[in-house]
């Protein structure tokens, strides 16, 4: 049976907390959530709101996109084990802070490609008349 999203997210949060050697009490205080509720979120019993997930991630000093990406990988692996055909992209960092804005060139070491010329005539848009 496939892992539920709340279980995968809870597992990611618990892993981040234990790797950071933090207690439930510490994280619950920093996130301003009850210890019992945080425990239930980590065990996948409760589905936390996006605001609560952001507060927990801040308390753990981890990014929400990284937690969600890890949870997605866990779910994809569980689906694959169940026999579903899953296309799992190579893990890559998420977020603009990780984006490499260089343009790909023919040479792998490459310098950025020269910008291409943009069309000078406006493209027609259906339902919009051109100004006279």
Return the CATH fold of 5-81.
434 Repressor (Amino-terminal Domain) (1.10.260)
Predicted confidence at residue 71, as pLDDT, reads: 92
Mean pLDDT of 67-73: 92
The pair of three-digit structure tokens given for residue 130, joined into one six-digit string:
């051109």
Single pTM value for the model: 0.63
Domain boundaries, the chain: 5-81
Cβ contacts of 18 within 8 Å, gap of 6 or more = none
Mean pLDDT of 19-33: 96
CA separation for the pair 94, 112 (Å, rounded): 22
**50 pLDDT above the threshold of 70:** yes
Positive or negative, the Cα torsion across 17, 20, 22, 26? negative
């Amino acid at each position: 049976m496939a892992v539920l999203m709340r279980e995968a997210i809870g597992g990611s949060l618990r892993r981040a907390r234990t790797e950071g050697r933090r207690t439930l009490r510490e994280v619950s205080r920093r996130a301003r959530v009850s210890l019992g509720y945080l425990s239930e979120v980590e065990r996948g019993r409760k589905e936390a709101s996006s605001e609560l997930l952001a507060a927990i991630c801040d308390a753990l000093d981890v990014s929400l996109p990284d937690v969600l990406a890890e949870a997605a990988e866990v779910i994809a692996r569980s689906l694959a084990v169940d026999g579903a055909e899953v296309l799992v992209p190579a893990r890559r960092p998420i977020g603009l802070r990780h984006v490499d804005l260089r343009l790909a060139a023919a040479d792998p070491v490459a310098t950025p490609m020269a910008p291409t010329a943009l069309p000078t005539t406006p493209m027609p848009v259906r339902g919009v008349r051109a100004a006279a």
